[in-house]
Chains A and B, each alone.
Chain A
Amino acid sequence: LAKTTQPISMDSYEGQEVNITCSHNNIATNDYITWYQQFPSQGPRFIIQGYKTKVTNEVASLFIPADRKSSTLSLPRVSLSDTAVYYCLVGAHTNAGKSTFGDGTTLTVKP
Chain B
Amino acid sequence: DGGITQSPKYLFRKEGQNVTLSCEQNLNHDAMYWYRQDPGQGLRLIYYSQIVNDFQKGDIAEGYSVSREKKESFPLTVTSAQKNPTAFYLCASSIQRGWDSNQPQHFGDGTRLSIL
Interface centre among B35, B100, B101 (most CB of A within 10 A): B101
- Interface pair A49/B109, CB less than 8 Å apart: no
Q: What is the total number of residues of chain A having a CB less than 8 Å from a CB of chain B?
A: 25
CB neighbours of B107 from chain A (8 A): 43-45
- Interface pair A46/B42, CB less than 8 Å apart: no
Tell me the residues in window 58-111 of chain A with beta carbons closer than 8 Å to chain B beta carbons. 87, 91-94, 96-98, 100-104
Residue B105 CB within 8 A of the other chain = yes
**Smallest distance from the beta carbon of B87 to chain A beta carbons, Å?**
13
- Interface pair B104/A34, CB less than 8 Å apart: yes
Identify the closest chain B residue to A93 (Cβ): B101
Question: Which residues of A are in contact with B by a Cβ distance under 8 Å?
Answer: 30-32, 34, 36, 41-46, 49, 87, 91-94, 96-98, 100-104
Question: Which residues of B are in contact with A by a Cβ distance under 8 Å?
Answer: 4, 31, 33, 35, 40-45, 48, 50, 56, 58-59, 88, 90-92, 96-98, 100-110, 112
